[in-house]
Chains A and B, each alone.
Chain A
Amino acid sequence: MKPARFKYANPKTLNDALSLRAEYEDESRFLAGGQSLLPTMAFRLAQPEILIDLNWLHELNYVRLETSGAIRVGATVRHREMQVNRLIIDHQPLVNEAVFQVAHQQIRNRGTLCGNLAHADPSSEMPAVMLALEARFHAKSIDTDRWIEAVDFFLGVFETALEGPEMLIEIELPSMPERIGTSFMELSRRPGDYAMMGVAVVLTLNKDGTCANCRLAFCNASDTAVLAPKAMASLVGKPVNEETVRAVANIVQTELDPPDNINASSAYKTHLAGVLTRRALLKAVERASGGARAAA
């Protein structure tokens, strides 16, 4: 239950961290909050020879509002910041709502948003949130610099589009124009546990109150966070009410095929996906039409 021996690097600049990673690509790992990597190392499922600790990189510790209205979150920003940061609360209510479902407070005080996304656990909340929001992922190595769309980032269980020596240096959360309502809902065994099923909703309304755009992303429904494109398309142009939302939930239940796990069977998870979709859409439409979002 003790990690294997490793050599430790505590670079103070992004450039140093990326150089180290380029030099020791195969034998090194980045350490962010350590809330997923350190348990894996304690079990010796991971035994990196070199650990590049990002905790001393103060230059990536920011939550920033861009002139476009988008928010950027740097690689060392912890989950806790998503709970308390004014910019997140005001501009990214979906991230703020969902983070309270990520683990327990002790873990949120330490784990990072980017580390969570780089880890790419399909039962994590935030990958689904990023898919729903159409967030963008900024990947950088000493020789490369590129942006990856959320739909292209998650490739499989613990597998992302990051290549070789790339670091996820920041996330961009797009701005939320008028008449958008969001909602995150999940069911888990205890508060803080991974969800048995969870849904992130981003709903945009037309002026007449009908649905202009609808994004539904699910956690723990596949080997990555997934969208339900047929269900999403089915709502466009329609009013959003009990009846139409029920129809969307039915489509979700045919579209998803979640794997069984120890906490819930596939059938139960499918059932939950429908129930949560219906409730989350009704919450989102209430917020989009003024209610909670205007009050916040």
Chain B
Amino acid sequence: MLKEFYTVTTVVNGQSYKRVIEPRMSLCDFLRDELDLTGTHVGCEHGVCGACTILVDGLPVRSCLMLAPHADGADIQTIEGLANEDGELNVLQWAFREKHALQCGFCTPGFLTTITAFLAENPNPDREEVREALSGNTCRCTGYQHIIDAVLLAAETMRADK
């Protein structure tokens, strides 16, 4: 019953993977070191910065506060899975570029995954709701205002596209 190793079978960005790992491995290390998906960034490794946010079964979570075994049987989406199928930036990514919502880009994968889920639940947010939704993500460069602008632009564009 006590395991020193664990076999994880999981789907990430539509592709299946199977790996044998030590259970103490965090999910972000699993993605980066085992699957070479290095778009998920690791800032603090203890849950405060949000850089490592990914979508597990559609919901944003901190991948540094999950163990790799928690990926077993899950359907995961990371920053690498957000762009359109032809490789073009999706609407949210485009809006980030349009509004200068990133500078160094370290925090960006965490923001984009967080906001992807947020806009799916709330397609027509006001500025205050956007601020609240972003509260779990830290950005040291932008001062957040442009990120909020980008989210509002993305929401507006997505509504118009529907």
Contact = CB atoms under 8 A, between A and B. Distances in A.
B45 A50 contact: no
Contacts of A109: 56, 59-61
Interface in B36-65: 45-47, 50, 53, 56, 59-62, 64-65
Nearest to A41: B24
A110 B61 contact: yes
Contacts of A10: 3, 6, 69
B40 to A, nearest CB: 13
Nearest to B58: A109
Q: Give the size range of A's interface with the partner.
A: 35 or more
Interface in B101-155: 114, 117-118, 131-133, 135-136
Given A7-B2, A10-B3, A191-B135, A106 B24 contact: no
Contacts of A53: 67, 69
B24 A3 contact: yes
B3 A110 contact: no
Interface string A6-24: 1111110000100010000
Interface residues of B, number: 34
B4 interface: yes
A5 to B, nearest CB: 6
A74 to B, nearest CB: 18
Given A50-B2, A80-B59, A104 B50 contact: yes
A8 B6 contact: yes
A2 B24 contact: yes
Contacts of A34: 65-67
A75 B136 CA distance: 25
Contacts of A9: 1-3
Contact of B47 (A6, A16, A38, A105): A38
B24 A6 contact: yes
B47 A1 contact: no
Contacts of B6: 8, 10
Contacts of B53: 106
A215 B152 CA distance: 41
A8 B133 CA distance: 34
B1 A192 contact: no
Nearest to A10: B69
Given A35-B65, A38-B67, A39-B46, A8 B60 contact: no
A86 B93 CA distance: 34
B4 A7 contact: yes
Nearest to A35: B65
A105 B60 CA distance: 8
B107 to A, nearest CB: 13
Interface centre among B3, B131, B136 (most CB of A within 10 A): B136
Nearest to A16: B1
A128 interface: no
A5 B114 CA distance: 30
Interface of A: 1-11, 16, 20, 31, 34-35, 38-39, 42-43, 50-51, 53, 55, 80, 103-107, 109-110, 190-192
Interface of B: 1-4, 6, 22-24, 26, 29, 45-47, 50, 53, 56, 59-62, 64-67, 69-70, 114, 117-118, 131-133, 135-136
Closest 9 CB pairs of A and B: A104-B136, A8-B23, A39-B46, A7-B2, A1-B45, A191-B135, A109-B59, A192-B135, A3-B24
